[in-house]
Amino acid sequence: MAPKNTAITTSLCSDPSLFISLSLVCTLSLSLFFLSYRPQSHPPLVPQNTSHSPTNSIKVYVSDLPRYLNYGLLDKYWSFQSDSRLGSDADKEIRSAHLPKRLDYPPYPENPLIKQYSAEYWIMGDLMMPEKFRTGSFARRVFDAKQADVVFVPFFATLSAEMQLGMAKGMFRKKAGNEDYDRQKEVVDFVRGVKLGSGPHSLADPVAMWHVRAEIAPAILLVVDFGGWYRLDSKMANGSSSVMVQHTQVSLLKDVIVPYSHLLPKLLISEDQKHHTLLYFKGAKHRHRGGLIREKLWDLLVNEPQVIIEEGFPNATGKEQSIKGMRSSEFCLHPAGDTPTSCRLFDAIQSLCIPVIVSDEIVLPFEGMVDYSDFSVFVALADALQPNWLVSHLKSYSVQQKDSLRQNMARIQHIFEYDNGYPGGIGPVPVDGAVNQIWKKVHQKMPLIKEAIVRERRKPPGVSVPLRCHCT
């Protein structure tokens, strides 16, 4: 997650003293599956045909953080030898291939705990390219912060947090002896100490950078959803918690919902096969907070004919089972986990399995650019928990309706894809892929953010503005 520009004096939410520019960081939920690593040859870098004009793009300045706060964290990750939480089976091949040598731009882990939150890695990989190779990128990199619409601070915060959890989980919420905390503070202090122009800073998730969540609250945050941040944890009895992200720190007015990285391979509509199962779900039964609904749905559905509900585990076998299960099912269940959404939704989209979204409060990436009701089924919690209701509802869809939903899904699969196919992620992004969609969404929010900044600057000294971020 990345910090912010001290030159910015306003924000839509919270104390406007620091409008931080952050890289995406998310530690919200576990993914279920591993992808195998396939070494790639570096394709020739050629300018893309589709271009964005200067008036139809966003100007981005990249904060010059020390390398050990981004790609250096990958060096450290790949130096781990053990097959522990941070040394998954999925990364054995990459680790053995890259341990003997140091790469300027290491590959991102296939470990699903980390890979599902890889947006900042792909954003950075695009911005690192010379402009002549970035003609298809919506973000135009500038090297004078005063010319920028937004400042991007490339701290790989999720990776930092996951390494701390893997090495010393008991230290995660402490400060002394916590390397992740030290890195979070260094990022914030770095941005405070450097004049980065007057544009708002962008991009991070306060869950991974929870130690400095108040300082980064005024930034444009890139988050996978708002679940579990400012709502009361079911385990807490006193109605408050110093570790929760407050409602004044996140807002759909300024923040951008981004997709998880999908963990299953893409299925083309031309490769679609016969669907033997009505409804499929593979994952953990027991969750916390809003995910408690999952246990109730599980008990209602587990013995239904044409329904597969089973525990899923993060290993190669689980991945293969899920590929087969999703591709051979008409619908894929998407109940809340610890948060309202998970990478499972994007695995279903890539598998052409019609998502059944059971949530009353989910927020989704790129809404307004894409209408999820064109390829998904939305179900209220109250309906889903009625015995026999959900299965009967799904059986009511005709073959033509299901085919139409899948055809619509196939047309938007690409907007949820991050991978650009280049080693180390350094290469131009797909024109219509997730990275460009993220920048377009940030661009959409800029007029309101700039208006708030101007309003804050013209206030007489000593005047305060009430917090108004009840806006999810």
391-411 confidence digits (pLDDT tens): 999 999 999 999 999 999 999
Q: How far apart are CA 48 and CA 41, in angstroms?
A: 19
pLDDT at 241: 53
Q: What tokens were used for 400? A: 């033509």
pLDDT at 218: 80
pLDDT at 439: 96
pLDDT at 37: 26
pLDDT at 3: 30
- Which range (76-85, 342-351, 424-433) has the least confidence? 76-85
Answer whether residue 50 shows pLDDT above 60: no
Cβ atoms of 233 and 33 within 8 Å: the answer is no
What lies within 8 Å, CB to CB, of 320 at 6+ separation is: none
319-337 confidence digits (pLDDT tens): 889 999 999 999 999 987 6
Which range has the top average pLDDT, 38-47, 93-102, 183-192, 327-336?
327-336
Answer whether residue 259 shows pLDDT above 50: yes
Answer whether residue 370 shows pLDDT above 90: yes
If we measure between CA atoms, which residue out of 271, 427, 279 comes closest to residue 350?
Answer: 271
pLDDT at 287: 67
